[in-house]
Amino acid sequence: MNEKNAKSNVNSLAIFNGHPKFKEKLHVGRPNIGDRVRLLNRINDILDRRWLTNNGIYLEEFEQRLCEQLGVKHCIVMCNGTVALEIAIRAADLKGEVILPSFTFIATAHALQWQEITPVFCDIDPQSHTINPWQIESLITPRTTGILAVHLWGNACDIESISKIARKHHLKLLFDAAHAFGCSYKGQMIGNFGDAEVFSFHATKFFNSFEGGAVATNNDELASKIRLMRNFGFSGYDQVDYIGTNGKMSEISAAMGLTGLESLESFIQLNRKNYNQYADELSDIKGLRLFSYKTSEKCNYQYVILEIDEELSGLSRDTLMSILWAENVLARRYFYPGSHRMEPYRSYFPHAGLLLGETEKLSQRILVLPTGASVTSPEISEICQVIRISLSNSREINQRLREKESKVSLVGS
């Protein structure tokens, strides 16, 4: 071990001028890459055939494999998850107002607002981090046409309760399943619920097609509408049936997706191993909770999420983040500060936070840690050691940071 950057006490932390633990930055969301030889062979084949996009053979094979994997009738792949959401929303005929959680990646809200549909933000359940079904009903108005729930971190939301509400009020039900490929709910794969579910295969997801996404549905009519909308509405040469856009996935993306799909189980195994190591090494730290996944369900373990309770631990999430960043561990505050606090929603609904108490609290507490193939087991141990030192010495750390800050402001004045 390099002695200069060993972490044993507060003095050795890089935030107090110790040496950073890691020379290279450790990111959240480094892509997993499948078998390169297979990928390169496929790319060569694409180049030889000169069929680069528009329903090529790799796209067709990718869609078929996805359907098999999910046990769903249709899986229509797209250029990215956001366009897949936009098309699903339009094909399902959503208008007026749609209820969704604020605690999600901003694309969920933007996909609605982009089409001049008003996103109505709902609070989350603090345990599951997913939309709170009990608040949904109170947000329904005569303008409401649908619910867009999110399986955050790949953890399925309370699909049963939400479906009941949707049925009772004749609302369309879509799921943003961007995080939930390979996950299940009550034993059935995500992709089979609501009117449609939308995946992302972005580089930062646990398996990727560089950029990419898909709409999964068991509804034949909706599926054919979505297919047309993906390709400008063309149903044949010179024949346009709907307003459409260009949501097509290229052959090279489909080749990457197919290759990743072949390594899916090994990606999940590795993520699970990393997750279990974090869970073991962080288990007894006061004021820290590692978000836990249901062991009875399938899960991709792509997100390792810490919840830091400042009252119990003595350290704020943001201080812990600064400590980790100084060590070159680029932990992320997904999805701070909540969509309702981002533009244009912050201006449209300045008081939305009053109904979003749990979202506001949680977005102050979350920190997402690196996982996947590009973080090793010894690196995870080192990250955990930095977290342990930080939380066990919170009082001294806060004091030293205050001193550091007052020195900086004295120099500045």
Q: In what order do the strands lie in the sheet with 304-308?
A: 288-290, 304-308, 366-369
Minimum CB separation of residue 30 from ligand T4K in Å reads 4
Strands 188-189 and 184-185: antiparallel
According to DSSP, the residues that pair with 200 across neighbouring strands are: 213
* Per CB under 6 A, 108 contacts ligand T4K: yes
The only residue of 10, 99, 178, 196 in contact with ligand T4K, by rule CB under 6 A = 178
Which residue has 């084949």 as its token pair? Answer: 45
| DSSP letter string, 208-241 | --SS-EEEEES-HHHHHHHHHHHBTTEEETTEE-
Minimum CB separation of residue 408 from ligand T4K in Å reads 27
* Per CB under 6 A, 140 contacts ligand T4K: no
Residues numbered 15 to 44 that lie near ligand T4K (CB under 6 A) are 27-31
* Per CB under 6 A, 86 contacts ligand T4K: no
Minimum CB separation of residue 148 from ligand T4K in Å reads 10
Q: At what angle do helices 317-326 and 394-412 cross, to 10 degrees?
A: 80
* Per CB under 6 A, 203 contacts ligand T4K: yes
Nearest-5° angle of CA 403, CA 405, CA 409?
115
Given the rule CB under 6 A, which of 9-17, 47-55, 104-112, 285-293 is the region that contacts ligand T4K? Answer: 104-112
Minimum CB separation of residue 95 from ligand T4K in Å reads 21
Which residue has 């840690």 as its token pair? Answer: 369
* Per CB under 6 A, 204 contacts ligand T4K: yes
Nearer to ligand T4K, 278 or 336 (CB): 336
Nearer to ligand T4K, 263 or 371 (CB): 371
CA 266 to chain centre: 20
b/e 113-142 (16+ beta carbons within 10 angstroms → b) = beeebbbbbbbbbeebbbbbbebbeebbee
Helices (H), 248-341: 251-262, 264-282, 310-313, 317-326
Q: What is the rounded CA–CA span in Å between residue 289 and residue 365? A: 10
* Per CB under 6 A, 362 contacts ligand T4K: no
The only residue of 7, 21, 74, 202 in contact with ligand T4K, by rule CB under 6 A = 202
The only residue of 66, 150, 383, 384 in contact with ligand T4K, by rule CB under 6 A = 150
Q: Which residue is nearest to ligand T4K (CB)?
A: 81
Nearer to ligand T4K, 29 or 257 (CB): 29
Q: What is the rounded CA–CA span in Å between residue 146 and residue 118? A: 11
* Per CB under 6 A, 112 contacts ligand T4K: no
Residues that bind ligand T4K (CB under 6 A): 27-31, 80-82, 104-105, 107-108, 150, 176, 178-179, 200, 202-204, 213, 330, 334
